[in-house]
């Protein structure tokens, strides 16, 4: 399904991603772990086409998505939803409009300039918000929400894109433990219910082990581990994290040690 | 005194050097300004028939004459205000209309002049230079040229103010756009939104309050500008004022001045009020409003 072949990204002399190859055959939750600057974010941004790869190919269902241009590229971006650490919503627009903007690829010029969105889309957006317990705040401005709420709105916006793949770039790094859990539960739920692949950059080891069925470890732009959470030993993990190991191990205690019973998303 | 680490000492030294440079520059500029004023006054003294010192004595004669004439006019003075209202409206019209035009042009051009929204560097440079050109000539100069070409009417003044407003608003707008947060734009880019949608929703929503506030300020400036343009024959209250000054109708001059001052004060208050409203909107609706909104919304959603 997703096949990444020899992707390299250089920023000047610095190699952020070096000759990375891996493939994902069936829908699953994949966690990418590694210390800051290991190239995790750059890899996701290359796949989404926010950054241009220096070399390499990314195939999705047989199409090389790195060679797409113009509208075809936008269509790929529509199919490949992205979640950001800082949520990246439009702060001064209300939640409902933010979610509807997930459909931007399909909107005509006049429609999007005048915000004349069809009723059908509004209902869909509301239904999506309701699914994550956010319908009541649909008319509030995005900037007035808490971080956890904003991230769940961002997840709703991603759902409006009807994506075939979701890339989450450190989705819980700026959230408190409870909201981090809500966001991760939401992503997991989407992965299971929609049967799509979610690739998640995670800083904390325990979160990755808890939610993902496959873990990829990156170090200085290289893939140094690729396997199931069980096969990732503490020794290997310490090697991946290097100097940040203590932080990554310790942060895990606060983020998911609250208990593993699923909690329903509440506003 | 405690011994600081080397790198901090270095920063400290650099800071001090910067402060020294700044002090020297301020001193030099104050000296230059003082010298310019001094030589300017003495040159003017030498060329003029009367000296500056003698002239200052006569300075208050004219306003005194004006007020005494207005006083003499008595009750006849008040209808003058109604007489000159159409002229005032003309001037206001001119200012508001040309600010509106300038706003539209500036808004369109500013997206091509800002680093984060311009399609490429060459377009950006061309648009920036064009905006520089637009605001490099004062309204008065542009208006005089157009008046010479097109004859006396409102149109030359409108063109002049529009051109100047486009230049100065365009620059301010493009700077506001460059300061906008790029995260929302990146978010929209990641989901396949085209340039127009990114600019409309990612950038414009962020900069709209500040852009409108700049424009209101420009309306105030342009009311003054269009009054001045009346002096060179662009019509409106400026022309009436200039004619009456030449004919030495003191009561009428006072009436027009009172109207102008009142208008500018009113505009000040109005724009302050609107700006206040807009900035109030920036921090989202108050808790109470939000609650009401939510209730309303829930009702609609249930139906």
Summarize pLDDT for B227-267 with one digit per residue, the tens.
Answer: 888 888 888 888 888 888 888 888 888 888 889 889 888 88
Interface residue A135 vs chain B (CB under 8 A): yes
Question: In this predicted structure, what is the pLDDT of residue B5?
Answer: 65
Question: In this predicted structure, what is the pLDDT of residue B24?
Answer: 86
φ and ψ at residue B112, rounded to 5 degrees:
-90, -10
HSE-CB for A28 with a 13 A CA cutoff: 17
- Length of chain B, please? 303
Question: In this predicted structure, what is the pLDDT of residue A48?
Answer: 94
In this prediction, the residues of chain B whose per-residue pLDDT falls under 70 are 1-8, 48-55, 57, 279-303
Averaged in consecutive runs of 10 residues, what is the pLDDT profile of chain A (267 residues)?
92 91 93 89 94 93 90 93 94 93 91 89 92 90 92 94 94 90 92 93 88 92 91 86 75 47 44
Interface residue B204 vs chain A (CB under 8 A): no
Looking at the 3D structure of chain B, how many domains does it have? 1
Question: In this predicted structure, what is the pLDDT of residue A254?
Answer: 46
Measured distance CA(B163)–CA(B141) in Å, rounded: 11
Measured distance CA(B172)–CA(B177) in Å, rounded: 9
Question: In this predicted structure, what is the pLDDT of residue B288?
Answer: 44
Asked whether the beta carbons of residue B297 and residue A138 sit closer than 8 angstroms, the reply is yes
Distance from CA of A206 to the nearest CA of B (A): 28
Measured distance CA(B244)–CA(B251) in Å, rounded: 9
Query: Which chain A residues contact residue B196 at CB under 8 A?
Result: 109, 112-113
Full residue range of the structural domain in which residue B152 is found: 67-283
- Length of chain A, please? 267
Question: In this predicted structure, what is the pLDDT of residue B274?
Answer: 82
Question: In this predicted structure, what is the pLDDT of residue B286?
Answer: 41
Measured distance CA(A238)–CA(B112) in Å, rounded: 49
Interface residue A157 vs chain B (CB under 8 A): yes
Asked whether the beta carbons of residue B193 and residue A74 sit closer than 8 angstroms, the reply is yes
Query: Which chain B residues contact residue A76 at CB under 8 A?
Result: 192
Dihedral Cα B14, B17, B19, B23, nearest 10 deg: -170
Q: What CATH class is the domain A87-184?
A: alpha beta
pLDDT in tens, A112-157: 888 889 999 999 999 999 999 898 999 999 999 999 999 999 999 9
What strands lie across the sheet with A14-24, from one edge to the other? Answer: A14-24, A2-11, A55-60, A63-64
Both structure tokens of B106: 């500036």
Asked whether the beta carbons of residue B301 and residue A143 sit closer than 8 angstroms, the reply is no
Provide the percentage of residues in chain A whose pLDDT is more than 90: 64
Q: Is residue B140 part of a domain?
A: yes
Relative to beta strand A2-11, strand A55-60 is antiparallel
Provide the percentage of residues in chain B whose pLDDT is more than 90: 28
Measured distance CA(B71)–CA(B250) in Å, rounded: 10
Query: Which chain B residues contact residue A168 at CB under 8 A?
Result: none
Q: What is the pTM of this model?
A: 0.76
Tell me the three state secondary structure of residue A94: strand
Beta strands in chain A (DSSP E): 2-11, 14-24, 29-33, 55-60, 63-64, 80-83, 165-169, 197-202, 214-219, 222-227
Asked whether the beta carbons of residue A92 and residue B205 sit closer than 8 angstroms, the reply is yes
Read off the CATH number of the domain in which B221 is found.
1.10.3720.10
What lies within 8 Å, CB to CB, of A102 at 6+ separation is: A81, A125, A156, A157, A158, A159, A160, A161, B191
- Number of CB pairs < 8 Å for A and B? 99
Provide the percentage of residues in chain B whose pLDDT is more than 70: 85
Which residues, in sequence order, are bridge partners of residue A166?
A81, A198
Per the CB < 8 A criterion, the answer to whether A134 and A148 are in contact is: no
CA A209 to the chain's CA centroid: 17
Rg over alpha carbons for chain B, rounded to the nearest Å, is 27
Query: In chain A, which residue ranges form alpha helices assigned H by DSSP?
Result: 40-48, 70-79, 95-100, 109-114, 119-131, 147-160, 177-194, 205-211, 234-241, 245-256
Question: In this predicted structure, what is the pLDDT of residue A160?
Answer: 94
């Amino acid at each position: 399904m997703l096949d990444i072949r020899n992707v390299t990204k250089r920023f000047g002399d610095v190699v952020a991603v070096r000759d990375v190859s891996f493939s994902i055959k069936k829908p699953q939750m994949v966690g990418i772990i590694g210390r800051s600057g290991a190239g995790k974010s750059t890899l996701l941004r290359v796949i989404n086409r926010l950054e241009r790869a220096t070399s390499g190919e990314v195939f999705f269902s047989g199409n090389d998505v790195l060679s797409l241009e113009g509208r075809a590229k936008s269509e790929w971006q529509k199919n490949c939803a992205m979640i950001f650490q800082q949520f990246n919503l439009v702060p001064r627009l209300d939640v409902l409009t933010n979610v509807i903007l997930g459909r931007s690829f399909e909107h005509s010029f006049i429609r999007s300039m005048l915000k004349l969105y069809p009723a059908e889309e509004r209902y869909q957006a509301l239904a999506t918000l309701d699914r994550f317990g956010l319908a009541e705040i649909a008319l509030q401005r995005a900037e007035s929400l808490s971080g956890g709420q904003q991230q769940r709105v961002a997840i709703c916006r991603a759902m409006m894109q009807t994506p075939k793949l979701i890339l989450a770039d450190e989705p819980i790094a700026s959230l408190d433990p409870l909201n981090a859990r809500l966001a991760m539960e939401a992503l997991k739920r989407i992965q299971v219910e929609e049967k799509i692949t979610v690739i998640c950059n995670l800083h904390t080891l325990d979160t990755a082990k808890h939610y993902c069925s496959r873990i990829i470890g990156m170090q200085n732009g290289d893939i140094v581990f690729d396997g199931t959470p069980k096969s990732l030993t503490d020794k290997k993990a310490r090697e991946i994290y290097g100097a940040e190991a203590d932080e990554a191990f310790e942060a895990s205690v606060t983020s998911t040690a609250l208990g593993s019973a699923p909690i329903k998303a509440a506003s | 005194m405690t011994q600081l680490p080397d790198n901090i000492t270095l920063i400290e030294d650099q800071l001090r050097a910067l402060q020294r440079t700044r002090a020297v520059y301020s001193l030099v500029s104050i000296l230059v300004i003082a010298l310019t004023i001094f030589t300017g006054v003495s040159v003017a003294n030498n060329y003029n028939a009367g000296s500056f010192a003698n002239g200052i004595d006569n300075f208050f004669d004219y306003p005194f004459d004006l007020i005494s004439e207005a006083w003499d006019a008595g009750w006849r003075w008040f209808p003058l205000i109604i007489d000159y209202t159409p002229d005032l409206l003309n001037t206001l019209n001119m200012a508001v209309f040309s600010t509106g035009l300038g706003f539209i042009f500036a808004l369109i051009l500013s997206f091509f002049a800002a680093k984060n929204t311009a399609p490429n560097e060459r377009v950006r440079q061309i648009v920036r230079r064009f905006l520089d050109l637009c605001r490099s000539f004062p309204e008065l100069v542009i208006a005089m040229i157009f008046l010479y070409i097109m004859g006396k009417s409102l149109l030359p003044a409108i063109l002049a103010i529009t051109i100047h407003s486009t230049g100065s608003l365009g620059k301010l707008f493009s700077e506001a756009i460059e300061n906008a947060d790029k995260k929302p734009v990146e978010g929209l880019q990641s989901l396949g939104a085209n340039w127009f949608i990114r600019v409309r929703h990612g950038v414009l929503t962020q900069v709209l309050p500040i852009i409108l506030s700049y424009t209101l300020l420009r309306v105030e400036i342009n009311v003054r500008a269009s009054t001045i343009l009346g002096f060179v024959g662009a019509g409106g209250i400026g022309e009436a004022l200039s004619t009456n000054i030449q004919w030495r109708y003191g009561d009428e001059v006072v009436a027009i001045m009172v109207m102008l001052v009142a208008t500018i004060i009113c505009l000040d208050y109005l724009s302050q009020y609107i700006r206040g409203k807009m900035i109030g909107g920036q921090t989202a609706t108050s808790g109470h409003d939000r609650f009401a909104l939510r209730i309303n919304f829930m009702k609609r959603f249930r139906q």
